[in-house]
Structure 1
Amino acid sequence: MAIQERNDRFAEQGQPEWAHYCEKCIRFFGKRDGRPEFMVCAIVSDGITIGHPCCNVAHCMEPLPNKRSRFCVGHKYLNNKCSVEACSFPIAPDLLTCNNPEHISIFQDYEIRKSANFQQKGQLSLEEEGSLAKSSAETCPQKSAAGNRPLRARFGCRQTHNEQLMVHPCGIIVAWATFFGSETVPQTVAMLKQVFREPGSMPEFFIYDNCCGVYNHLQATNDPLLDAVGCPVNAFHFECKHKASDIICREHCNPSKFPELINADGDWYFNSSKCEQLNSWLRGYQAILREMNADRYDFLLDELIMHKNHALVNDFMVLRGATGKRRQYQTGFKVV
């Protein structure tokens, strides 16, 4: 398939602007004679929930045969298994559950909600809340007197959880990756190492809204990255969403404790909110992207990012707000 081959090639070669740097994303520090003594580079990361249909098995990354499928090819046999969680009985004819009356009742409720009126009302609710939960985790409205957990069923496919972005503070998107189950700290750290695995390419500062979690993870695993990369929390999140009682966060992830991030006038040198701004841009394509299969989704998102980066570089040159240069470009930095 041509799109899949193109995606594989792009994944191997990475974003063309991976090696971009400019005065908005790198800060030089000079000696008394004006010659630069050293420099620091920052990368900002954040996740955006767009999502596309994926296999109904949790954390499975295999693509669906088509967007109407519930399972990938490897898990196709589960189509014959009852859709209620923890039930392993085969499905009954014309149902997605077994013959258990309680399970059938859940499926019938699901079918009612799929009718035109309920579907329209549900779609409006999803759009208002910005939710992308397309299908299908159904909860039985009744709970047994014995206090058992309510039955849950999943009659459709899942949606991927989010796209994780790595962005220069100037707005150039370096890389993105799909997180299937959740946005976890280990996944984010693994992505950082994957994107900047070429020696000398790791940024001096990794700015993230949960950098205190990143710091704790690196410390708990004795990761040498902890000595090479500073972990300041996004300035807005630090002031509004992090507890003052969290001593580790206040001591090691307070952005104001990193003098390289602060101008002489006290303002922030790097724009640590750039990811949130780009998230607003990407949400404009949400209605198009979220119904695509994985190959077309990856293709379009790559193309959107590539053209966005190209437009930003042109703006830098026209406005002369930043004089951009490139390091020697290396291939293979797109996260898969």
Structure 2
Amino acid sequence: LGKKLDFFCRSLNLYSHNKRGTLRRKLPPISTANIRPVLIITPTVMQCSDATCPGRALTQYQRYRDVSKATLLRGSECFEKVPVLAGKCPACSSMFWADHESFNNPSNDCRLAIHLPDAKYLKVGTQVWVDRLVSRAIVNANYSFHASTTAVTEFWNYSFVQPSGTTFKLTRRHTWKAFVLESIRLLAEPSGAELLFVDNMAVKDLVTPAYEYLGDGGIICSAEGHSCDECCHAFKDVADVIPNQPDNPAALAGHDENHAVPDNPADIRMIVIDGIVMGPRHCAMPGCEVGLLNAQTGVFCKAHQDEMGVRCHMKDCVRVKVAGTQACVNHQEQWRVYRACYANSSLLGVQRMLRRAQEERQEWLPVGGGAEVPEHDDLAEQEVEQVSGSKYNNYFSAPRFYCVETICAPCGVVIAWRKFAKSEGVAKILQLLEDVYPDPASRPSYIAIDKGCALLKHIVRQGHWPAWEPTTRIIVDSYHYINHRVTDHLCRTWCNPAPLNGDAPNLVVVDKDKQGNLYYKRAFNTQACEQLNAWLGGFQTVLNRMTVSNFDFTMHVLLFLHTQRVIARQQGREEEAGDESEDEEDE
């Protein structure tokens, strides 16, 4: 120990005597404020933690002269040449690092790695590590600023790395890996899931098994069991009534013959469903929704790219394509037209916005002269699957997923989400509901959706109504009901979101305005998904450029964080209300 301390003093130039013991110089006083810790990235355990191992003490994996030096981002500071130590068990050959442990898989020759949930540092590059403060800041920046990894990287370099005077430069890949490694720990925290993956996986390969393992098919685990006074009300069998109010004929326009929910004393819960037009590109082959082999210029997944080979990308053509093009000699004219229409980047944005305006078919969009006014919720259109997979007769470009469908509680908590290809069909919506609520006892009392009447028709026609009728009623959200009720008798009589004739006492409550006057208001916020979509729209530019696997992972992380923060805000309001009531009692 004495020799090590002597070596340590010489390294820091704190040795006052020479080898013969003669005083060389007096050491100047050192302020405690200037003393900085020696940073070493090292495992947090001293002995093997493998259950099959007797618990041998770890040995240093590398000799001192071979210990690697890394750059460490610690908060807003950047440190270079930080030693990185690793431990090895002499009995089972398990390796121990600061952020993960790896061991041999007994079933095959590959090695598995357990990512430590409480790791202090994360490895984001070959010789780059960050502490958890940095990784959390990157996740929060992506969430709060609707920022891409490139934007976050530039911000961090300009704000913290460059002022430190180091030669190091944070890259987009470092930022993305920090986002992924921090996110898998956030997703695993509520359930305590073990983060077990193949060792030394590239980050582009890690996101797919991470979403499959932690994504739960798009169900947000942080929303499980959530209940608050905004999304859950006590059951009422008699409607609230404002006394001495004259009859209002408009209130009877939505006469509901469905008589709300069955007589059930349990609490009344509602969910809201809606979709937002966005999504990544997927394979152009009909029926295939796998991600592209080449996310930049490809149009097929790996399997279909191997199948197509050098074939012409016109449908049903088996000729060989001309070099430098995607078409054979006979279809060069079609390829030329495609390039003229879509290759010009200056026109692409305008054309995309025009196509998007037609695809969304929103009621508030202006209808051009001579254009046909779109019918609302055309059931036939929703149920028909386009077998061709595209309205085009070629595979020159990869299609996008049509929309992201979300299920929310009226308070804003996100329950689940899923990508839909081709269209927002009612058959897909029903499948999503059945996957999220396989147990009838867990189903909500009301489902509010913009195409509620179309969904109700589909459920009845397909014979699913007996399974849903005892527990659930389907209504149209308040915004879309304004247009639906005018021409749709079924929508008026079965899907009214707030009938004022007392047929649905759990959908309407009486409240007081600022002047103390009584008025009717909806018991639930049926616009929760519209509000969520307005927030999600800020990520559309970033998410649409991602691969399918990156899109799935990022979308799930964003909605998971959003749900956590909505619940945290609710708890904060409840605590403030409790403190105010205690203060009033003390007075």
TM-score of the alignment, normalized to the shorter chain, above 0.5: yes
Structure 1 match to 2:531: 277
> After alignment, is 80-89 or 201-210 more displaced?
80-89
Task: Give the superposition deviation at 1:321.
Answer: 9.3
1:173·1:309 contact (CA, 8 Å) conserved in 2? yes
Larger Rg belongs to: 2
1:314 aligned partner: 568
Alignment partner of 2:542 out of 269, 281, 288: 288
For 1:189 and 1:298, the matched residues in 2 are separated by 21
Residue 9 (structure 1) aligned with residue 237 (structure 2): no
> Is residue 61 of structure 1 aligned with residue 292 of structure 2?
no
Q: Distance in 2 between matches of 1:93 and 1:272?
A: 55
Hey, what's the Cα distance between the residues in 2 that align with 1:114 and 1:248?
A: 43
Which structure 2 residues correspond to residues 1-336 of structure 1 after superposition, within 5 A?
Answer: 1-12=205-216, 14-15=219-220, 16-29=222-235, 37-68=265-296, 69-76=298-305, 77-100=307-330, 103-115=331-343, 118-126=344-352, 152-223=393-464, 224-227=466-469, 228-240=471-483, 242=484, 244-257=486-499, 258-264=504-510, 265-320=519-574
**Number of residue equivalences:** 299
Distance in 1 (alpha carbons) for counterparts of 2:418 and 2:285: 19
Q: What SS class does the counterpart of residue 23 from structure 1 fall into?
A: coil
Q: Which deviations, in whole Å up to 9, do the C-alpha atoms of 1:109-150 show, x marking residues without a partner? A: 2223455xx3123224535875799xxxxxxxxxxxxxxxx9
Unpaired runs of 5+ residues, structure 1, are: 134-149, 324-336
Report if the CA contact (8 A) 2:290-2:548 is conserved: no
Report the alpha carbon displacement of residue 210 of structure 1 after superposing the two structures with TM: 0.6
Q: Kindly provide the amino acid, as one letter, of the partner of residue 308 in structure 1.
A: H
1: distance between equivalents of 2:415 and 2:575? 20
Paired with 1:59 and 1:132, the residues of 2 have a C-alpha distance of 23
Question: Mind listing any 5+ residue stretches in structure 2 that lack a counterpart?
Answer: 1-204, 239-263, 360-390, 511-518, 578-587
Q: What corresponds to 2:151 in structure 1?
A: none
Normalised by the length of structure 2, the TM-score is: 0.47
SS in 2 for 1:285: helix
SS of corresponding position for 1:250: helix
Separation in 1 of the partners of 2:268 and 2:576?
16
Aligned partners of 1:123 and 1:288: how far apart in 2? 15
SS in 2 for 1:154: coil
**Counterpart residue identity of residue 43, structure 1:** I
Give the direction of change, closer, same or farther, for the CA distance of 1:92–1:41 in structure 2 (3 Å limit).
same
Aligned identity (percent) is 23
The answer on whether the counterparts of 2:342 and 2:348 sit within 8 Å (CA) in structure 1 is: no
Higher relative contact order (CA 8 A, sep 6+): 1
* Alpha-carbon distance change, 321 to 41 in structure 1, aligned in 2, over 3 angstroms: farther
Aligned to 1:136: none
8 Å Cα contact 1:83/1:96 also seen in 2: yes
What is the letter of the counterpart of residue 224 of structure 2? W
Q: Residue 159 of structure 1 aligns to which amino acid in structure 2?
A: R
The CA deviation at 1:180 is 1.4
Question: Which segment is superposed worse, 290-299 or 58-67?
Answer: 58-67
CA separation of 1:284 and 1:95: change in aligned 2, threshold 3 A: same
**Range with greater deviation from structure 2 (66-75 or 274-283):** 66-75
